[in-house]
Amino acid sequence: MTTIIGVRKGDEVVIAGDGQVSVGQTVMKGTATKVRRLTVGGSDVICGFAGSTADAFTLLERLEKKLEATPGQLARASVELAKDWRTDKYLQKLEAMLIVTDGKDLFVITGAGDVLEPEHDVTAIGSGGNFALAAGRALMDHDLSAEEIARRSMAIAADICVYTNGNLTVETIKHD
């Protein structure tokens, strides 16, 4: 279980994720990295994932291939990944969700075939996702950067959700 948050404010987008890996009620690892930066064709994309790690890596590899086929077009690559995820018999069994950004677009990609853009420039997934989302939305009106909002939201989620910890990986990307 985990929590991932994506925050867009001003010219920056941040994805942050905690480091807890749990199996049942046991914490197996507290320092996992669930946020990654991909560089494809000279363009950076940040991805955060919740769910099965092996499944998430499979999806990240697929996303990378889609980005190679459609350089600089995160929306198109995300839709193509979601279509494959929904229709491919092997991919349908994967249990994970992704938050992705190129600094301009911010999407949640699900196995149900959804590519969702957040309505209020904050999105979150995982076991503590609703806590982080509520905190992030409440903090958006304050004079805080995207990173400060993400960090504070994740701290609140970690205080509430037993499957979320405070060991964060934070990646920032700016857009023009």
Which residues are the active-site residues?
2
Residue 77 to residues 15, 28, 73, 105, 126, Cα–Cα distance (Å): 19, 33, 6, 12, 22
Are 5 and 161 in contact by the 8 Å Cβ rule? The answer is no
Using left for φ > 0, alpha for ψ between -120 and 50, and beta otherwise, residue 121 falls in left
Is 53 known as a binding-site position? no
- Alpha-carbon distance of 34 to 54, in angstroms, equals 11
Is 33 known as a binding-site position? no
Is 164 known as a binding-site position? yes
- Alpha-carbon distance of 154 to 157, in angstroms, equals 5
Percent helix, strand and coil across the chain, each to the nearest 5:
35, 35, 35
- Alpha-carbon distance of 56 to 120, in angstroms, equals 25
- Alpha-carbon distance of 113 to 145, in angstroms, equals 31
| Residue stretches of the annotated binding site for Na(+) | 158, 161, 164
| Residue stretches of the annotated binding site | 158, 161, 164
